[in-house]
Amino acid sequence: MISRIAAWRNALGLDWYIAAIVGMVVLASILPARGEAAPVVATATKFGIALVFFLHGAKLSPDAVIKGLLHWRLHGLVLVTTFVLWPLTGLGAAALPSWVLPAALAPGVVFLACLPSTIQSAIGFTAIARGNVAAAVCGASASNLIGMVATPVMAGVLLGAQGEGVSLASLQAILLQLLAPFLAGQLLRPWVAGFIQRHAKPFGLVDRGSILLVVYNAFSGAVVAGIWSQVSALDLARIMLLCVVLLAMSLGFMVWVARARGFSTEDEIAIVFGGSNKSLAAGVPMAGVLFPAATVGFILLPVMLYHQFQLMTCAALAQRYAKRVSS
């Protein structure tokens, strides 16, 4: 019975980390950090965010990005989709009437659209589908490097156009809490990368644990601000449906444009997963820095829902690609 559950879970692309994230939302809903506990959790969250980006900087090889840029047609297509077409789509979705997209969650959809591609998922799905793994590695790395600057700037511009806005102080915090630790990790990479690689499992737990802490802190602030009195079950159903539609549109467009531009099947696979995936690992800490505590939960809800749907759908799609390539 347990093996059947595990097989079903793997087939859908689910993992216990997603369950842990949901658990943090539930915990924050029942026991939010408030009073004297709130500043303690907030301080620990800032440290966790800095640690996450230090580890990302230490693990990411600049050589992989430089070599990957040689395949400029593939990466150019993915980057334009990620940082031009997606944000425009997100802005259009945010303009939908409130009976389609609740106003409280509209900024979260815009923020989702500005996020870079995933690293682990895009590479993993490309490998399962027997696609161009080298291109996936380089494209995802480049997307995340560019996203360090592009995501907060675009989120600020697009949300500012809606009257939501991202403050200058928040953009400065990006430099201090995200970019500085990332660059520190890059500079120290020759000395610490080997140690981190040899102890990948405990450092992976630290990385994921920090994200869980950010989720708990974000939803604690949102619960105190009354998120569940402003977001109903019907609102959740609406945002879930919108996330599914956005994912279907993204996957369909990436398949169409890859074939229209004459890419090989292996390159198409890397393009599809690179252009449709959005990074929860980058989005959670960025949102924690960019937005006030009371609104972070509203921002992250669409991101977490889209991320789960992308895992489930792309896992099934990767299996279909693998059968097609091998046949």
Closest to 81 in 3D by CA, of 317, 246, 285: 246
Look at residue 174 and tell me if it is in a domain: no
- Residue 301 near residue 105 (C-beta atoms within 8 A): yes
Look at residue 199 and tell me if it is in a domain: no
Q: What is the pLDDT of residue 121?
A: 78
Look at residue 91 and tell me if it is in a domain: yes
Query: Residue 122 in 3-state DSSP?
Result: helix
Q: What is the pLDDT of residue 8?
A: 43
Helix axes 200-224, 293-326, angle to 10 degrees: 130
Look at residue 43 and tell me if it is in a domain: no
Instruction: Give the whole-angstrom CA distance, residue 247 versus residue 308.
Output: 11
Range of the domain at 281: 2-33+63-169+206-326
Q: What is the pLDDT of residue 237?
A: 92
Look at residue 317 and tell me if it is in a domain: yes
pLDDT along the chain (327 residues), means of 10: 47 61 86 85 82 77 63 86 95 91 91 90 84 82 84 84 55 69 85 85 78 81 80 91 96 96 92 92 83 83 89 86 74
Closest to 322 in 3D by CA, of 126, 42, 98: 126
Instruction: Give the whole-angstrom CA distance, residue 25 versus residue 320.
Output: 33
Look at residue 140 and tell me if it is in a domain: yes
Q: What is the pLDDT of residue 173?
A: 66
CATH number of residue 233's parent domain: 1.20.1530.20
What's the predicted TM-score (pTM) here? Answer: 0.80
Look at residue 95 and tell me if it is in a domain: yes
Q: How many domains would you assign to the chain?
A: 1
Q: What is the pLDDT of residue 171?
A: 61
Contacts 24+ apart (CB under 8 A), 258-265: 258/77, 261/73, 261/77, 263/73, 263/74, 264/132, 265/131, 265/321, 265/324, 265/325
Query: Residue 225 in 3-state DSSP?
Result: coil
Query: Residue 265 in 3-state DSSP?
Result: helix
Look at residue 233 and tell me if it is in a domain: yes
Tally the residues of the chain.
327
